[in-house]
Structure 1
Amino acid sequence: MTIKILADSACDLSETHYKTYDIEMTPLTVHLNDQEYKDGIDIKPKEVYDAMREGKSPKTSQVSPQTFKTIFTSYAETNQPLVYLAFSSELSGTYQTAKMMEQEVKETYPEAELHVIDTKCASIGYGLVILRAAQLAKDGASSEEIIETAAYHANHMEHIFTVDDLEYLYRGGRVSKTAAFVGSFLKIKPILHVADGKLVPLEKIRGSKKLLNRMLEIMEARGTDFSNQTIGISHGDDLEKAEKMAAIIKEKFGTDDILIEMVGSTIGAHAGPGTLAIFFLNDDYK
């Protein structure tokens, strides 16, 4: 029986990807204007970014225990194998909730083939892991092969990103108020990465002109085999900047396969408009 792949909305993939690869998606929740929205279903990222530009501060919350229990039970009842590859446990409680519900459902259905995996990835870095797993599932791979390959891609996935305004990361508790103020005042642009699932500052660049070049230098130093993998680029409602980055990567590294998507509502609510991120493997593609 074909393995079903479950993702959550923090993977920032499009509806086309979900349909093409038969991926089930469960949304996180965005709270804006005293309303709750299902990320990627009831609200689009552009709405979140426009609200942030107007000074509003959207909040987010994880997938509920009941949602996971319902999903897992439906697969257990039909003996359908399921692999849920989760958004980083360091950035959301969604993985822990899913793990708890997996154990609860297995008390009733001990033979159920349910697997909950922490990718320690986010945005399109996470999305690329999901796509690789879904490709394998579509080709009839076993759950063990899918989990092993997905774990390899997740462990070797680099996330290099910057934000346009440190104020948004401050609101989300990612940087101090002083850092946000000084960064804005001096026009300092941070470069961050994800290490063991956590957001970690790498460098501070003064001026936007140096920023893209420095991100590409880091990419060149950390990455490998660029022509034989999909490179991911996600952006906070700045397609022009993302396409500029893609053009440079194609010319510099000979990469043909570049996936560009907007940073989704869940992550965008914390990173803000103008965010730019690149994702690539630091080891050979499998």
Structure 2
Amino acid sequence: MSIRILTDSNCDLPSDIIHDYDIDVLPILICLGDKEYEDGITIDSYEVYKNMKQGSVYKTAQIPPNEFKKKFRQCADNKETCIYIAFSSGLSGTYQSSILAKNEIQEEYPDLDVTVIDTKCACMGQGLVVLKAAKMAKEGRSKEEILEAVKFYSEHMEHIVTVEDLEYLYRGGRVSRTSAFIGGLLNVKPIIDVRDGKLVPFEKLRGRNKVIKRIMDIVDERGKSLEKQTIAIAHADDLETAIKIKEMIEERFKCRDILITVMGCAIGSHVGPGTVAVFFLNEESPI
């Protein structure tokens, strides 16, 4: 029985990887006023970033249960095993939508073989989990082996994020007007990571260069066997900084497998243009 790897567009994997590894991706909904778009299909991240710079405020909506039902029904009809690798339940209701859909579809298809995983990851943190699973599925590995790897990667994935402008976090209701204003005056840049599936600021520094240097130190402190890993860098319309970070990681840690990707509409609409993030494992994978 073939194994289908299903995920959502929050994973931010590059399109060539999605194609090469036959990954099935459901789009998160992006809303601007009364207009609704599908992430990466009817709107792209560069359009979102351009509009955000001009003052637009986007919101996101979870994938409706009916969209999951369609996918799960296809798997049942094709007698496929499906592993849905979900965006963190601490940041979206999409995981719950998939559970609701699975429970309803299994009444119709009692033999449906669907496993839903809450990665507690976001952006390319989730993407690296999905990529590992997709590679293993393509190699013909068993469902149990893939689930073991997904569990390990999900539990040991680091997300180190910095935003360029606190104004975007203010617009999305994530910081106060005062914090955004003072942060802008002082050129304060927060460093954020993901704890228990939620974005948590844990340091603040003044100036972009200091932040990037500190991110490198955090990678050094937390990463294990970095030269053996696939490391991901995501950026929100700031390729120059992403390339700079890539070169620093290559030189300092002798890493050669580094992915750079554009942060998608869903995550990007909350953190804003200029955001960059690094994703890596804090333990060496046994799989």
**More deviation, 92-101/72-81:** 72-81
Shift of 1:263: 0.5
Equivalent residue, structure 2, for 1:125: 125
Residue deviations 1:95-147, cap 9 Å, x none?
01101111111112111101111011111111010000000101111212111
Q: Could you tell me how far 1:177 is from its partner in structure 2?
A: 2.5
Aligned-residue identity in percent: 51
Shift of 1:70: 1.2
Give 1:33 deviation, angstroms: 5.3
Query: What amino acid is aligned across from residue 256 of structure 1 in structure 2?
Result: R
Gap regions ≥5 residues in structure 2 = none
Tell me what 1:50 maps to. 50
- 1:45 and 1:268 in contact (8 A); partners too: yes
SS at match of 2:267: helix
Counterpart in the other structure of 1:166: 166
Residue aligning to 1:276: 276
Distance 1:73 1:111 in 2: 11
Q: What per-residue deviation string (whole Å, max 9, x for no partner) do you get for residues 132-186 of structure 1?
A: 0000101111212111101100110000010011121122232223222221121
CA distance in 2, matches of 1:132, 1:53: 35
Query: Any unmatched runs of 5+ in structure 1?
Result: none
Distance in 1 (alpha carbons) for counterparts of 2:253 and 2:118: 30
Q: Which runs of 4+ in 1 moved over 4 A?
A: none
Moved more, 66-75 or 246-255: 66-75
Distance 1:106 1:148 in 2: 24
Partners of 1:192 and 1:236 lie apart in 2 by 15
**2:220 aligned counterpart, secondary structure:** helix
Aligned to 2:210: 210
3-state secondary structure, aligned to 2:60: strand
What CA deviation, in whole Å up to 9, does each residue of 1:59-88 have, x standing for no partner? Answer: 111101111111111211222110000000
The TM-score normalised by the length of structure 2 is 0.97
Aligned length: 286
CA deviation string 1:196-242 (max 9, x = no partner): 11000110001122110001111110111010000100001010110
Please give the alpha-carbon distance, in whole angstroms, between the structure 2 residues aligned to 1:195 and 1:205.
20
Q: 1:115 — aligned with what?
A: 115
RMSD, matched Cα? 1.0
> Partner of 1:256 in structure 2?
256
1:71 aligns with 71
The equivalent residue for 1:7 is 7
> Secondary structure in 1 aligned to 2:175?
coil
1:105 alignment counterpart: 105
Does structure 1 residue 267 correspond to structure 2 residue 267? Answer: yes
Counterpart of 1:244 in structure 2 is 244
8 Å Cα contact 2:57/2:172 also seen in 1: no
Q: Alignment partner of 2:255: what SS? A: coil
CA contact (8 A) 1:234 1:278 kept: yes
3-state SS, counterpart of residue 99 of structure 1: helix
Q: CA deviation at 1:258?
A: 0.3
8 A contact 1:159–1:280 mirrored in 2: yes
SS of the equivalent of 1:234 reads strand
- Is the CA contact (8 Å cut-off) linking 1:3 and 1:137 kept in structure 2? yes
Secondary structure of the corresponding residue to residue 19 of structure 1 = helix
Where in structure 2 are the equivalents of 1:166-245 lying within 5 Å? 166-245=166-245
Structure 2 CA distance, aligned partners of 1:103 and 1:135? Answer: 28
Equivalent residues of 1:39, 1:265 under 8 A apart: yes
Superposition deviation, residue 35 in structure 1: 2.0
